[in-house]
Amino acid sequence: MNRLAGVTSPYLLQHADNPVDWWPWTPEAFEEARRRDVPVFLSVGYSACHWCHVMAHESFEDPDTAEYLNAHFVAVKVDREERPDVDAVYMEAVQAATGQGGWPMTVFLTPDAEPFYFGTYFPPAPRHGMPSFRQVLGGVRHAWEERRDEVAEVAGKIVRDLAQREIQQRADGLPGEPELAQALLGLTREYDAQRGGFGGAPKFPPSMVLEFLLRHHARTGAEGALQMAVDTCERMARGGIYDQLGGGFARYSVDRDWIVPHFEKMLYDNALLCRVYAHLWRATGSGLARRVALETADFLVRELRTAEGGFASALDADSRPHDAPDDAPHVEGAYYVWTPAQLHELLGEEDGDLAARFFGVTEEGTFEEGQSVLQLPQEEGVFDAERIASVKERMFAARAERPAPGRDDKVVAAWNGLAVAALAETGAYFGRPDLIEAATAAADLLVRVHLDEHARLARTSRDGRRGANSGVLEDYADVAEGFLALASVTGEGVWLEFAGLLLDHVLARFTDPETGALYDTASDAEQLIRRPQDPTDNATPSGWSAAAAALLGYAAHTGSAPHRTAAERALGVVKALGPRVPRFTGWGLAAAEALLDGPREVAVVGPSLTEERTAALHRTALLGTAPGAVVAAGVADGDEFPLLAHRPLVDGAPAAYVCRDFVCEAPTTETERLAAALNDH
């Protein structure tokens, strides 16, 4: 029986034809384990995970291994992107037991879903001190059949330990100037002054920290904060982690210099970084930041947009080499790397030499087998711009003929919310209405497919079909964030209303009414062995900090005291964590910057948003650097937004009203005065 055939997850569908008798995560799987009195083998991964594919090929496609696994276990396959709650709970157990984690995640459970043995990737034969997967299966089977009491004791202890990890919200106030200054100092100590970024290899794009640094500079004028952001963004944009031909960023760099990426491209990274580079341009006018923001936005629309208007989750790292037979194994990076010989064959000797110098392609190579990842090691100004444009165009067209990496085309609500915010703002800043239209189409899909009649979100959809899994906190928070940004850009108050519906669920179903602490799953969600809860950022903003930011923005738009109070209570944890682990609380620190700044409330009124003077004021408001400022734009005295009420024209002219901490400045009809009001420290 093929239980994976009807699921929406591309990752699970990749395993549908395995000889392993997979079950999805369902109560029936655990009932089957209880009936057969066997343990559950839980395998967690995701579609763009390189080592997940390796383990699948080596073990899950092997008939002998599958036969043994089917006989002695109930095998459950989980897509971590569809069930982040399941992933979070068992990853916490893996990390506590082994000191490390990652994917594929391998966990053995009792029929009561209690974990008792953990790991990640296991090879088909013993190597590098690791046992083979078959040895692990045999050892777990022996322990289950011969030492059941010990297994039960271990499982019980793990569950008790996890239960004691619940985060208690601190009640000693809000993050203030001292905590944000300490966080900045901590980042300065971890900053790689030679290469940009923080820490060593592997090096991940610090998108949420960069947002904090830009906001901190905007509020305080701290030049050190801005310099770290500028240098890091330039290093990444000139490195191999950035796709120099097609735009967009890979997941991370395996080295400290941003040269060789892990080539998978994730929607969330590119949405977050598109917004960061747009905000960097807003702060500095950097031409590089403008180019990267627009190229990344174009990459999102060109390569990740689905037929329904949403955005796919990821592009794989692996693909078939272009000169290999159709049945050849896929190789990491094959789509993106070049040799001097390939450049000469495509471009001729002169342009081939030019491309090699421009992109740092050498005979020795920077990747495997003499291949190079494209970089920008030299200043572009020393090259002929027209020739380089022609070279890039021909290289991009030739690359498009190579076998493309696979695409995970499920639509994840949270990540689409991030994309909506990025594309809406980038389109507004750079006069690209097509990007705003793409953001609106994705928002429409989220409402039409993901949102039910009670404003409850589904985590995923695929091919326009709503997935079975409920949204988690990050879905509600990030989609609300996207809707708030879209409302500010378009002047359409319906997006503010939808954000409010989602945030009401955050208050009612994800918040501890006693402490204000937030949970990753709703109070009425499936009960796992622990209710997951984590205020620290990882690859994306934590649901906790994302909710705090969205609640704060919504409160500024509406004056809602319950939403403002909830945001402040949620940000209490940043006071404790921000100075200690600033690299992992960037989004919370960015929200705290908005809190300290007000956030400022801007209302732009005119006869219509398309009227020239109104449009100029609106764009000026959107370009203001004040942290977390909210913008409402519409008809004077209109009811599209609460901030527009009782806001008339000034002497018959369009005007902007700026308020902060319950105090409003005199309205202005001049873009220069509005810009000054929103760009002061």
**Alpha carbons 279 and 217: distance in angstroms, whole number:** 12
Report if residue 171 sits inside a domain: no
Same domain, 340 and 413: no
- Backbone dihedral region for residue 43 (phi beyond 0: left; psi -120 to 50: alpha; all else: beta): beta
Give the chain's end-to-end CA distance (angstroms, integer). Answer: 64
Same domain, 293 and 342: no
Same domain, 61 and 125: yes
Same domain, 442 and 367: no
Q: What is the band of 171 on the pLDDT scale with cuts at 50, 70, 90?
A: very low
The helix (run of H) or strand (run of E) holding residue 265 is: strand 265-266
- The residue among 469, 432, 346 whose CA lies nearest residue 396 is 346
Same domain, 540 and 611: no
Q: Is the pLDDT of residue 165 over 70?
A: no
Same domain, 257 and 347: no
Domain that holds residue 652: 601-678
Report if residue 323 sits inside a domain: no
pLDDT for 157 equals 86
Q: Is the pLDDT of residue 371 over 90?
A: yes
Q: 164-168, 293-297, 500-504, 644-648 — which is least confidently predicted?
A: 164-168
Tokens of 255: 């080295």
Q: How far is CA 22 from CA 1, 3, 137, 140, 296, in A?
A: 9, 7, 16, 18, 37
Of 573, 597, 621, the one marking the end of a domain is 597
Same domain, 45 and 82: yes
Q: Is the pLDDT of residue 38 over 90?
A: yes
Tokens of 443: 């928002």
**Alpha carbons 62 and 603: distance in angstroms, whole number:** 63
Report pTM: 0.93
Q: What is the band of 328 on the pLDDT scale with cuts at 50, 70, 90?
A: confident
Same domain, 281 and 354: no
Same domain, 268 and 186: yes
Q: What is the band of 287 on the pLDDT scale with cuts at 50, 70, 90?
A: very high
**Alpha carbons 589 and 593: distance in angstroms, whole number:** 6
- Domains held by the chain: number: 4
Same domain, 24 and 120: yes
Using DSSP's 3-state secondary structure scheme, residue 311 falls into strand
- The residue among 594, 454, 472, 464 whose CA lies nearest residue 526 is 472
- Within 8 A by CB and 6+ apart from 419, the residues are 267, 270, 271, 300, 311, 439, 442, 482
Report if residue 641 sits inside a domain: yes
Report if residue 322 sits inside a domain: no
- Kindly report the CATH number assigned to the domain that includes residue 207: 1.50.10.10
Same domain, 460 and 561: yes
- Kindly report the CATH number assigned to the domain that includes residue 95: 3.40.30.10
Of 375, 401, 427, the one marking the end of a domain is 401
Tokens of 627: 């942290």
- Backbone dihedral region for residue 258 (phi beyond 0: left; psi -120 to 50: alpha; all else: beta): left
Mean pLDDT for 446-466 is 96
3-state secondary structure labels for all residues of 467-527:
CCCECCHHHHHHHHHHHHHHHHHHCCCHHHHHHHHHHHHHHHHHECCCCCCECCCCCCCCC
Q: What is the band of 2 on the pLDDT scale with cuts at 50, 70, 90?
A: confident
For helices 473-490 and 543-558, angle between their N-to-C axes, nearest 10 degrees: 40
Mean pLDDT for 304-324 is 92
Of 401, 431, 451, the one marking the end of a domain is 401
Report if residue 326 sits inside a domain: no
Same domain, 24 and 130: yes
